[in-house]
Each structure stands twice: as structure tokens, then as C-alpha cells.
Chain A
Amino acid sequence: MRTSRRMRAAWADAATYIILCLGCVVAVAPIVWGLLTSLKTQNNIAIYPPRWFPAPLTLEHYRVLLVDKGVVRFFINSLILSVGTILLSLAVAAPAAYAAARFRFRGKHTILLAILATSMIPGISILVPIYLLAVKVKLLNNYPFLILVYGAWLVPQAVWFIKGFVEVIPRDMEEAALLDGCSTLGAFVRVVLPLIQPGLAAVAILIFVFVWNDFLIGVTLTTQEEMRPVQVGLVRFLQDTLGVWWGQFMAFTMLAVAPILLAFFVLQKRFIAGLSSGGIKG
């Protein structure tokens, strides 16, 4: 009996590793191809039969990008926009999610559905009027306005997600805190927020990736080169009317992906760590 349980566990582990490895291969193969491309000289890229490994290997594409102040500027812009949106969205959505999860009040469902409904209007329908609005209030090429727009777009879904995370936390701890004389806000900040860290971290990553990878809103609301985000800069390598500069395009892509992976690496400990430190005692 015991040995068969251990054997089953071993099989389960083996299957797990195999599936995960296969998943990794499928996930990463095209990107490895892109990475190798970024290291090839321009002449060696579009040839057939394809040469798998760069020979000669060159860092020229990366060098050209990294010394370009304009490119660095794109990254800084995207960083400001992403972090700004995360801070704004979490600060705004978390309390709203808490209220939605814990309270019953008049008009609750209507308000929540109304908030969610605003993110149901397709983004492309809103792009033109948002642009006209921006021109009217003279807030084109403006970080705060962009952050507000991204926030307005993402907060509704963030509220629904965080609400889900709050709902599964038993109320006893907050009630204990309230009995101890804590205000509702205090209970929220000191008891609930730490417990929903995994959810907050996950939403933070989602927001980061959305803003970092956004093209349409960025190209609509910025006209000056110094304010453009990363994806708009990237598209230039695709839309050069003389053809795609694959080497630089891939190098730029690799550079653009790195911060996301970094953010993920930093944040993933947060949303995994949640478990035992949360004190979900029986």
C-alpha cells in the first residue's frame, strides 16, 4: 500500500516535469529564434536554408540601440507609465474591491456593473474620442493624463479580481480587529491588504504588462518623440517602408521583454509567499 502511494507520487512528479519541460520548449522556441536573430549580422538573417546559429555573432544591433538616447527615453517613459498606472490602479481599485466584497449597500450591484461595463466598450471605439478629449484639455504628451487613461481602462477589471481575492478570506480577523477598536479603513489596511498580497501582486503584473505592451493608446496620445513609449518606438523597425530591420527589431524586442521578466521575477515571490504568512488559521 505504501510503496504504491510513493510510486504514484513519483509518476506524478515525473509527469509534471515532462509536461512543464514541454511547455517551456513550446513557449520559448520562437523567442530563442528571435534572440539568435538579434545576434546575427543583417545579411545573415533572411536567408534560406536558415542558419540556426549566428556566425559571426554580433552585438551590433544592441549597441546601436543602447547608445541611442531616444531609445533609452522610450524605456524610461514606459517605466514611468507602467509604475504610475500600477500605483494609481491599486490605490483606487483595492478599496473599491473591499467595499464590494464586504458590504451590502443600496445600488451595490448597479454601481459594480456600471464600473465593469465601462471596460466593456471596446478600446478601439474609445480611442478617437479620447484623443479629441486630450486635445481639448491640452493634455497630449502628458504622463499624468496617460496614467489616468490607462487606469480608467484597467481599474474596473482590477476591482473584480481583487474582490475575488477578498471574498475568500474569512471575516473573523477583521471582525476581531474592529472589536479591538480599529476603524474600517484600519482593518482594511492592516488586516486585509497583507492577506491579499498574492492577488495584488498578480494584478500589478497584469497592469505592468498591459501598459508596457500597449501601442494604440500610446501612439494616439503622444505626438512628441520624447514622450513615446517602448512599443511605439519598436513599431518603427517594423514599418520602415524599406522592409523590416529584423536584427534591430529583435534586439529591441529582447530589450523590451527584459523589464517585464524582471518585474515578474521580483513580484512572483510576493504572490507565492502569501500562504503561510497569512495566518489563515482554522
Chain B
Amino acid sequence: MRKLMSVAVLTAVLLIPLVASAATEIVYWDFIKPGDGTPRGNALAKHVERFHAKYPDIRVKVEVVPPSSIEPNLIQGAAAGSTPDVVRVYNYFLPMHVSAGSVQPVDKYAEKADKGDWLLPWSSTAFDGKKYALPYEYRFFALLYRKDILDKAGVQVPTTWDEVCQAAGKINSPQVMGYAFGLSQANSAYAALEWTENMIAAAGGQLFDERGRAVFNNAAGRRFFQTIADLIGKCKASGQAVVEFTYNHMDEGLKAGTIAMASLGTHRYLAIRAGGAGENLRWAPPPSFEKGKAAPVHVNGWTLVMGRHAKHPEAAWKFMEFMTSPETQVVVAQAGEMPTRKSTYQDAWLKKPESRFMVEWSEYIAKNGRSGRYPVGWFDFGQILAEGAQSIGLRNTAPDKALAEVVERYNKSIDGKK
């Protein structure tokens, strides 16, 4: 008996350090490959390295998932009982994931977190009173334009949509499109979706109510749809080709100089410059519908969530917290994405003149940034919206009629679904 006891004690004593030193491995899904040579890839590699240095007993395994596969994979994984620990999810899809039960709330880990040091309120990524995600970076839709083309045409940077219409109308030719926007159904109609949500916000309306029903068949919606009609028709500021445009088209158009102006996310600013536009690419606050007033914008961005079946939730939380900490966010800024912590903007790197634009961005969204509501049927809405908007350009549908049809069709589709 005594011999058995001592063997047991010996075994325990030998095993304990083994167990204690066995590193906890957490799985993290991102669409960026660490260390792939791009600014964001290098930033991610740096984050992981510094995290390992800070928490030697936690290892992070980064699994690269194509961005369009993140939602299906996460939801399917949750249904099968297997999810990663942390996932990078775009804020649009947070309601979808909450509804599908593929992510878990983090309130119990976040008790000691600093809830005030964020550019946007803590509640912006909370649903039903529970906090689900930590914002990793922000972007908003600014007016990106080619200074060289505007100068050549003798045109001032527009500040209202009427001015956009006129200025772009002056510039538009078969070689250069004055103002580009994307109405394609390809690429999940993102270009149409994001432009629309910001335009409706600028026009003083909102897309959806709390129940996820479309509620913009009103003055705001009509203003927006009329703008589409004017851009294509009255001012001839945009060519009919916008019907097939996606972000790629507008991106490359600005790089190549075949597009003069477009509303694009701020995260593309540096990339377009580096891709051929150079110093000629500038940004301006998004045009508003009233002269002199700043336009409200929706602030979107990538967030970090904890998978529903995370194997190591405490370690997962440490990683989420680390990635969104003020120090890590400086590295995020250096890679071209806007940090989400207020205190990051006090860092020396962001005080430099070259980084001035990022500080200006943060000031704009601190004053005018809003959070949008994104229903579970977001993709579906995108397809319906794109088709409705396309018909304005292709079939000369009256804007009011197109708007009414879009809203009705979408609301009908979610009624059928419940």
C-alpha cells in the first residue's frame, strides 16, 4: 500500500510540471497570412510574436481562411460542434453569428477591461446586452479622388452631392469616369451595400429598424436613389458601366487614372497610392447633402470574436485583448488600418506629420461616426438592392419606383423566412 502511494506521488510530481509546461494552443482564423510580405501580413506576424513573448504558455495557431469563406465555415463549424478559439469577423456579420449561435459572449472575461478607451462606444459590438466582439480596426467611406485629374479639369474638391454631380459631369469622358460607384451583384454586392448605407446615413435616414425591416422608403431613400439617377442621367457623371463595377474596378480605376473620384473605404487609401496613384490620390470627407454640414458616416471594420466551442476561452480572451490593446494598435496603424483605441492616437508614431491623415480620420469618425444595423439577411438585401439600383441605369426606372420595389421585395423576403 505504501509502495503504491509513493509511486502515485512520484508519478504526480513528475507529471505536474509536464502538464503545467504543456503550452495551451489556441486556433485563430484570419484571412491574412502572417509574414506574407504585405504590410498587414507583417503586422500580424509581429502581433503573434509579441503575444508569444508576453504569454509564453499560450501558442497561437493562425489558420488562413479566404474572407468569403469565414461566415460559412464558422457557422457550419458551430453546427458541427467545432469552432476555432478566436476569429476575425467583419462587423456586418456579428448579428448573423449571434443569431446562428456560432460565437459566444465575452462579458465574463471582460469585467476588468477598460470600457472607455475606445473610439466608438463599448456597446457598438454588443447585442441583446451582451458583448460579443472587440473591434480590431476601423474604416469609413471617404471620398478618394485623383488630384491630378481634378486639377486638369479645373475642378474643386466637391463637398456636397450636387457638387459631385457637377464636378464629375465636367470630367466624365469615355476615357475617364467622373465619379465611380459599384452596382454589381458580384462580390456579394459589397460596393453597392456599403455605398448605400453611407448615403442613407448622409441623407439622414437609416436602413433597418430593430426588427431588421427595411425602413428607408422615405425622403432619405428617395434622395439617395435620385442621386443615382442624376449621376448616371442628368449630370452624366458616371458611365453605365457602374452596373458591373465592384471594388476591384474602382480600386484599379483610381490607380490607373481612369476614374477621377469614388467613395471607398479609408483602408484602401495607402494601397491605392502604393499601387500606382502615388501622391495624386487624396482623400476628402464624404460629401453631404447639405452645404456646410458634415455627413454622418457608418464606421465599420474587422472585429475579433470568440468561437462558440472555443477550447480555451481564457487564453482566447487574452489574445483578443492583446490584439486590441493600445500598444498593438500602433502596429495596426503602421500597417495602414485605423486603430480603435483612443489612447493609441497619443502614440508618437501617430503624432508624426506623415500619419496626420489617420488622426484626421479618427477625428472625423469621433464626431460623425455611427454604427449601422445589419440584419441576418444582409447578403440577400445586397442582391435585391443591386438589382433595383441597376434598373435605374439600365431600364430608366424612376428612382422612386425602384426604391419602393427594393424595400418591398426585401421586406417580403424576410416575411417569408421567419
Direct contact of A and B (CB under 8 A): yes
A residues contacting B by CB (< 8 A) are 42-43, 46-48, 64, 68, 70, 128, 131-132, 135-136, 219-220, 223-225, 228, 232, 235-236, 239-244
* Set B62, B258, B267, B268: member contacting A48, Cβ < 8 A: B258
* Set A128, A135, A136, A243: member contacting B268, Cβ < 8 A: A243
Q: Is B131 in the interface zone, CB < 8 Å from A? A: no
A48 touches B33 (CB 8 A): no
| Minimum Cβ distance to chain B for residue A49 (Å) | 9
Query: What 6 pairs across the A-B complex have the smallest Cβ distances?
Result: A135-B80, A46-B252, A243-B251, A242-B271, A46-B256, A43-B276
| Minimum Cβ distance to chain B for residue A207 (Å) | 25
Given A48-B175, A243-B271, A243-B275 in contact, is the A224-B80 Cβ separation under 8 Å?
A: no
Collect the chain B residues with CB atoms within 8 Å of residue A244's CB.
248, 251-252
| Minimum Cβ distance to chain A for residue B90 (Å) | 9
A131 touches B76 (CB 8 A): yes
| Minimum Cβ distance to chain B for residue A30 (Å) | 17
Collect the chain A residues with CB atoms within 8 Å of residue B65's CB.
223
A43-B276, A239-B31 given; 6 more Cβ-contact pairs under 8 Å:
A47-B276, A232-B66, A243-B247, A243-B252, A244-B248, A244-B252
Closest to A236 in B: B66
Collect the chain A residues with CB atoms within 8 Å of residue B64's CB.
225, 228, 236
B residues contacting A by CB (< 8 A) are 31, 33, 36-38, 40, 62-69, 73, 76-77, 79-82, 175, 247-248, 251-252, 255-258, 267-268, 271-272, 275-276
Q: Is the interface of B mostly helix, strand, loop or mixed?
A: helix
| Minimum Cβ distance to chain B for residue A150 (Å) | 19
A235→B82 CA distance, assembly (Å):
24
Collect the chain B residues with CB atoms within 8 Å of residue A68's CB.
36
A132 touches B76 (CB 8 A): yes
Collect the chain A residues with CB atoms within 8 Å of residue B62's CB.
225
A225 touches B33 (CB 8 A): yes
Collect the chain A residues with CB atoms within 8 Å of residue B31's CB.
236, 239, 241
Residue from A48, A220, A232, A242 whose CB has the most chain B CB atoms within 10 Å: A242
| Minimum Cβ distance to chain B for residue A19 (Å) | 33
Closest to B176 in A: A48
Closest to B40 in A: A242
| Minimum Cβ distance to chain B for residue A100 (Å) | 37
| Minimum Cβ distance to chain A for residue B38 (Å) | 8
A-B contact pairs, 13 of them (CB 8 A): A42-B275, A46-B276, A48-B175, A64-B37, A223-B73, A224-B63, A225-B33, A236-B33, A239-B31, A239-B67, A242-B268, A243-B247, A243-B251
Collect the chain B residues with CB atoms within 8 Å of residue A242's CB.
40, 251, 267-268, 271
A43 touches B66 (CB 8 A): no
Residue from A48, A220, A235 whose CB has the most chain B CB atoms within 10 Å: A48
A11→B286 CA distance, assembly (Å):
66
B80 touches A136 (CB 8 A): yes
A128→B38 CA distance, assembly (Å):
33
Collect the chain A residues with CB atoms within 8 Å of residue B37's CB.
64
A240→B257 CA distance, assembly (Å):
21
| Minimum Cβ distance to chain B for residue A58 (Å) | 15
| Minimum Cβ distance to chain A for residue B172 (Å) | 15
Collect the chain B residues with CB atoms within 8 Å of residue A64's CB.
37
A131→B73 CA distance, assembly (Å):
9
B67 touches A47 (CB 8 A): no
A47→B252 CA distance, assembly (Å):
8
Closest to A70 in B: B33
Collect the chain A residues with CB atoms within 8 Å of residue B76's CB.
128, 131-132
Given A132-B76, A135-B81, A136-B80 in contact, is the A239-B251 Cβ separation under 8 Å?
A: no
B66 touches A235 (CB 8 A): yes
A43→B275 CA distance, assembly (Å):
6
A128→B80 CA distance, assembly (Å):
10
A223 touches B275 (CB 8 A): no
A132→B62 CA distance, assembly (Å):
22
* Set B67, B257, B275: member contacting A241, Cβ < 8 A: B67
A132 touches B80 (CB 8 A): yes
Collect the chain A residues with CB atoms within 8 Å of residue B38's CB.
240
B79 touches A132 (CB 8 A): yes
Collect the chain B residues with CB atoms within 8 Å of residue A135's CB.
77, 80-82
Collect the chain B residues with CB atoms within 8 Å of residue A42's CB.
275-276
Collect the chain A residues with CB atoms within 8 Å of residue B33's CB.
70, 225, 236
Closest to A228 in B: B64
| Minimum Cβ distance to chain B for residue A234 (Å) | 10
Collect the chain B residues with CB atoms within 8 Å of residue A128's CB.
76
A243→B248 CA distance, assembly (Å):
6
Collect the chain A residues with CB atoms within 8 Å of residue B79's CB.
132
A219 touches B80 (CB 8 A): no
| Minimum Cβ distance to chain A for residue B301 (Å) | 11
Collect the chain A residues with CB atoms within 8 Å of residue B66's CB.
219, 232, 235-236, 239
Collect the chain A residues with CB atoms within 8 Å of residue B257's CB.
47-48
A229→B134 CA distance, assembly (Å):
32
Closest to A215 in B: B66
Closest to B81 in A: A135
Collect the chain A residues with CB atoms within 8 Å of residue B272's CB.
243
Collect the chain B residues with CB atoms within 8 Å of residue A236's CB.
31, 33, 64, 66
A239 touches B68 (CB 8 A): yes
| Minimum Cβ distance to chain A for residue B79 (Å) | 7
Collect the chain B residues with CB atoms within 8 Å of residue A240's CB.
38
| Minimum Cβ distance to chain B for residue A131 (Å) | 6
Closest to B139 in A: A241
Given A48-B175, A243-B268 in contact, is the A223-B63 Cβ separation under 8 Å?
A: yes
| Minimum Cβ distance to chain B for residue A138 (Å) | 9
Residue from A42, A64, A136, A236 whose CB has the most chain B CB atoms within 10 Å: A236
| Minimum Cβ distance to chain A for residue B144 (Å) | 13
Collect the chain B residues with CB atoms within 8 Å of residue A43's CB.
275-276
* Set B68, B255, B268: member contacting A46, Cβ < 8 A: B255
Given A131-B76, A132-B79, A242-B267 in contact, is the A47-B256 Cβ separation under 8 Å?
A: yes
A43→B280 CA distance, assembly (Å):
14
| Minimum Cβ distance to chain A for residue B244 (Å) | 15
Closest to A138 in B: B82
Collect the chain A residues with CB atoms within 8 Å of residue B69's CB.
219
A42→B251 CA distance, assembly (Å):
14
